[in-house]
Structure 1
Amino acid sequence: MDLPVIASSDRVYLRPVAFVDSPINMDDAAVRLAGGLLWFSAYELIVVRDGRRIVQRAIPAGNLPSDERLRAIAARVTGPRPPLSLGERILRFDQPQVMGILNMTPDSFSDGGQHLDNPAAAVAAGVDMGVQGAALIDAGGESTRPGAKEVWEGDEIARVIPAIEGLARSGTLVSVDTRKAGVMEAALNAGAHIVNDVSALLWDDRALEVVVRAQCPVVLMHAGDPRQGADGGRGYGDALIEVYDWLEARIDAVVAAGVDRSRIIADPGIGFGKSLADNLALLNGLAMFHGLGVPLLLGASRKRIVGALSNEAPAEQRLGGSIALALKGADAGVQLLRVHDVPETVQALRVWRGLRDAALTGR
Structure 2
Amino acid sequence: MIRVGIVGATGYSGVELIRLLSQHPQAHVNRLYTSSAEGESLVPVFQHLTGHALPRLEAIDPVRMASDNDLIFLATPAGVSSALSPQLVEKGARVIDLSGDFRLSSPEQYRSWYKKEPAAQEWLDRAVFGLPEWNRESVADAALLANPGCYPTATLLGLLPLAKSGWVDPQSWIVDAKSGVSGAGRGVSLGVHFSEVNESISAYKVGQHQHTPEIEQELCRQTGVEQLIQFTPHLVPMTRGILATSYAKLHTSVTAEQLQALYETAYADKPFVRIRPFGSHPRTKEVYGSNYCDIALHLDERTGRVIVLSVIDNVVKGAAGQAVQNMNIMFGLEETSGLPIVPVFP
TM-score > 0.5, shorter chain as reference = no
Scaled by the length of structure 1, the TM-score of the pair is 0.30
TM-score by length of 2: 0.31
